[in-house]
Amino acid sequence: MTNNEEFKLGMLLPKKNIKLAVHRNYLKRIVRNLSREFLAESKVSLIFVSKKRILNFKKEKLRREIKTLFLNLMRAV
């Protein structure tokens, strides 16, 4: 078993929670970009899961909230 010292990212964005493929793809793109920006140098594995249904898909609000999550994660690491 090898212990890779690199950043890994996994995403689970089910159709049940995010109906439109356009919205799921947007979230994937945002999460990928922000994870590269904040966590590329860290040696963590991260799984991003959408647990709740997103009813009001406001791009800027979601981007801010995901950015806040990454900032909080950076402080914890």
35 falls within a domain: yes
3 falls within a domain: no
Three-state DSSP at 63 gives: helix
If residue 11 lies in a helix (H) or strand (E), which one and from where to where? strand 8-12
Give the chain's domain count. 1
42 falls within a domain: yes
Return the CA Rg of the chain.
13
By residue range, what is the domain housing residue 58? Answer: 8-76
Residue with tokens 């402080």: 75
2 falls within a domain: no
1 falls within a domain: no
Identity (one letter) of the amino acid at 7?
F
Q: pTM for the full model?
A: 0.80
* Inter-CA distances, 55 with 16, 19, 31, 69, Å: 11, 9, 19, 20
pLDDT digit string, tens, across residues 22-76: 999 999 999 999 988 888 788 888 899 988 888 788 989 989 999 999 899 888 8
21 falls within a domain: yes
Residue 1 pLDDT: 43
24 falls within a domain: yes
62 falls within a domain: yes
Q: What is the distance between the alpha carbons of residues 30 and 35, in angstroms, rounded to a whole number? A: 8
